[in-house]
Amino acid sequence: QVTLKESGPGILQPSQTLSLTCTFSGFSLSTYGMGVGWIRQPSGKGLEWLANIWWDDDKYYNPSLKNRLTISKDTSNNQAFLKITNVDTADTATYYCARLLNSGHGVMDAWGQGASVTVSS
Amino acid sequence: DIVLTQSPALAVSLGQRATISCKTNQNVDYYGNSYMHWYQQKPGQQPKLLIYLASNLASGIPARFSGRGSGTDFTLTIDPVEADDTATYYCQQSRNLPTFGAGTKLELK
C-alpha cells in the first residue's frame, strides 16, 4: 500500500523560506521509474504543479516559480523535500506530494492528505 | 505551457450520464499514448486518480467511470451518476511539464 504524508511549518512570515517534507511508504525513490511531485492548491482554487523529482535524480520545475523552488530527496529515509524561497501571501495554500509513475508517463497515482501553509505577517 | 480548458460546472440527475470535457491547446499524444489523466477531488480531500493515459481505469475505480479522446480533445464520462460522485474533476497532461485544467464541479440536479 502506497502512502504519502506532507509536513510543514503551518505558518510563516513573508520573505521566509518554506520547507516541506513528504514522507512516504510502499515504494522507493531508488526504484527505476518512481518519482515524487509537489502540487499546491490555494483555498477554493485549482491545482498548480510545482516540481517533480525522479529515481535518477532528474528534476523539473514550474517555470513560473523555478527561481524560488528546490526539490530534493533522501532515498534512505523515504522522503522528498521542497523548498520555496522568499514566500509571500500568494504562497498560502495546501501543499500536496504525489507519487509519479514513469510507466504511466508522469501520472500522479497516489496523493498525500496535504499540508496547509499560511504566509502572514 | 500546454493549457487545458474545462467547463466550470455541470449539473446532472442521479442515474444519468455526466460527460466532462477537457480541451488542450497542443497535441498531448506521443508514440501511441495520450498523456492525459483525470482526478476526482471531494471537499476537504486530496485528489484521487480516476483515469490515466486518457482511457485506463485506475485501480479500485468503478467501471461507471470511463475516459476517451486523443490529440487535443478528451472526455471523462460517469454513467450512471451516483450521489457520491459530486466533486470537482480535474484533467492533467504530462506530455510536457505538467499542467492541470481549472476543474469541473459536478453537481446533482
The enclosing H or E element of B53 equals none
> Which of B30, B52, B98 has its CB closest to that of A104?
B52
Residue B80: asked if its preceding bond is cis (omega within 30°), the reply is: yes
CB contact under 8 A, A111 and B48: yes
Q: pLDDT digit of tens for each residue in chain A (121 aa)?
A: 999 999 999 999 999 999 999 999 999 999 999 999 999 999 999 999 999 999 999 999 999 997 999 999 999 999 999 999 999 999 999 999 999 998 778 899 999 999 999 999 9
pLDDT in tens, A46-57: 999 999 999 999
Q: For chain B, which ranges sit under pLDDT 70?
A: none
pLDDT at B71: 97
Q: Do B98 and A49 touch (CB under 8 A)?
A: yes
Q: Which grid coordinates are listed for A119?
A: 504566509
The Cα–Cα gap between B30 and A89 comes to 38
**Which of B1, B34, B49 would you mutate first to test chain A, the one with the most A CBs within 10 A?**
B49
Q: Which residue of A has its CA nearest to B104?
A: A46
pLDDT per residue over B70-94, tens digit each? 999 999 999 999 999 999 999 999 9
Is the Cβ pair A107, B49 closer than 8 Å? yes
Predicted local distance difference test score (pLDDT) of residue B43: 96
Q: Identify which of B20, B30, B32 has the alpha carbon closest to the alpha carbon of residue B96.
A: B30
Nearest CB to B97; choose among A46, A47, A60: A60
For residue B103, the distance in angstroms to the closest alpha carbon of chain A comes to 7
Contact A49 B48 (CB under 8 A): no
Q: Give yes or no for A60 touching B (CB within 8 A).
A: yes
From A47, A62, A105, residue closest to B47, measured CB to CB? A47
Bridge-based pairing state of the strands B36-41 and B48-52: antiparallel
* A74-83 pLDDT tens trace: 999 999 999 9
Question: What local confidence, expressed as pLDDT, does residue A106 receive?
Answer: 87
Give B 45-64 residues with CB within 8 A of chain A: 45-49, 52-53, 58
CA–CA separation, A26 vs B78, rounded Å? 30
Residue of B nearest to A64 (CA): B1
**Pairing of the two strands B48-52 and B56-57:** antiparallel
Q: A21 near A97, Cβ under 8 Å?
A: no
Query: Is A44's Cβ below 8 Å from some Cβ in B?
Result: no
Nearest CA in chain B to A94: B46
Chain A residue whose CA is closest to B29: A105
